[in-house]
Amino acid sequence: MSSEGAHILVVDDEPRLRGLLSRYLTEQGFRVTMADSAAQARDKLRFMDFDLMVLDVMMPGESGLELTGGLRGERAPDMPILLLTARDAPEDIIAGFEAGADDYLGKPFDPRVLLARIRAMLRRAQPPALPAGPLQLGGKVFDASRAELVGPNNRVRLTGAELALLMALAARPHEILSREVLAAALGLDDVNERAIDVQVTRLRRKIEPDPREPRFLHTVRGKGYTLKPGP
């Protein structure tokens, strides 16, 4: 997905910050729609399609974390979500990733850093190199050409980060991919080991019969991760 003309939903209860973000991102060539609450964001998502959402965590009523978790199981399972918050302790960042966010930026921030994160997330949403063919993962099949994971009875929803991670692993099955390689696949500027581990944990919940005893997505201590497809 090209960043040029991408449609971004900015959700923040601070009018001044909403206005600043809208002007800055519009100047950078994005289409911008604003919402002042989770409820208003949900209304806009019913009628418009967005390429990415910039979402404040600390809002009155439904928080950004709650909205993120809800959207992942509802109408926007694939849309990249960037969380903004003044709370950037490790446990807060982990909570954001576990809710389904694709990236996390602490306030205050340099607008240029926000722009770089957004562009990286949009690049990540582009189709990566495809595996040779569909991969069997027990009772599920991952078809990279369609960017979908299908179970015996239904399509399994994947977030953008989960899809990017599975694409990277599936393109090189049985190979050990380092966290550096996976960070690049996820569009991360640096290797945040905990962020990668959280995404691996989330992906295991989607592909493994028992995520506590992985059959397909294995940890190789000190080296990284490897995907071993099979019946």
| pLDDT tens profile 91-136 | 888 888 888 898 989 888 999 999 999 988 887 766 555 566 789 9
The verdict on whether omega for the bond into residue 60 sits within 30 degrees of 0, i.e. cis, is no
Same domain? 197 vs 102:
no
Q: According to the model, what pLDDT value does residue 1 have?
A: 46
Task: Pick from 4-13, 158-167, 215-224 the range whose average pLDDT is largest.
Answer: 215-224
Q: According to the model, what pLDDT value does residue 49 have?
A: 87
Same domain? 194 vs 88:
no
Residue 31 lies in a domain: yes
In SS3 terms, 128-148 reads as CCCCCCCEEECCEEEEHHHCE
Same domain? 213 vs 139:
yes
| 145-172 pLDDT tens trace | 788 899 888 889 898 889 989 999 998 8
Q: Supply 176's token pair.
A: 């050990």
| 147 neighbors 163 (Cβ within 8 angstroms) | yes
Closest CA to 137 of 222, 218, 212: 218
Residue 100 belongs to a domain with what CATH number? Answer: 3.40.50.2300
Domain of residue 95 covers 7-124
What distance separates the 2 farthest-apart alpha carbons in the chain? 54
- How far apart CA 163 and CA 182 sit, in angstroms, is 12
| 24-47 pLDDT tens trace | 999 998 999 999 999 999 999 988
Average pLDDT, the chain: 87
Same domain? 190 vs 220:
yes
Residue 185 has pLDDT above 90, yes or no: no
Same domain? 150 vs 100:
no
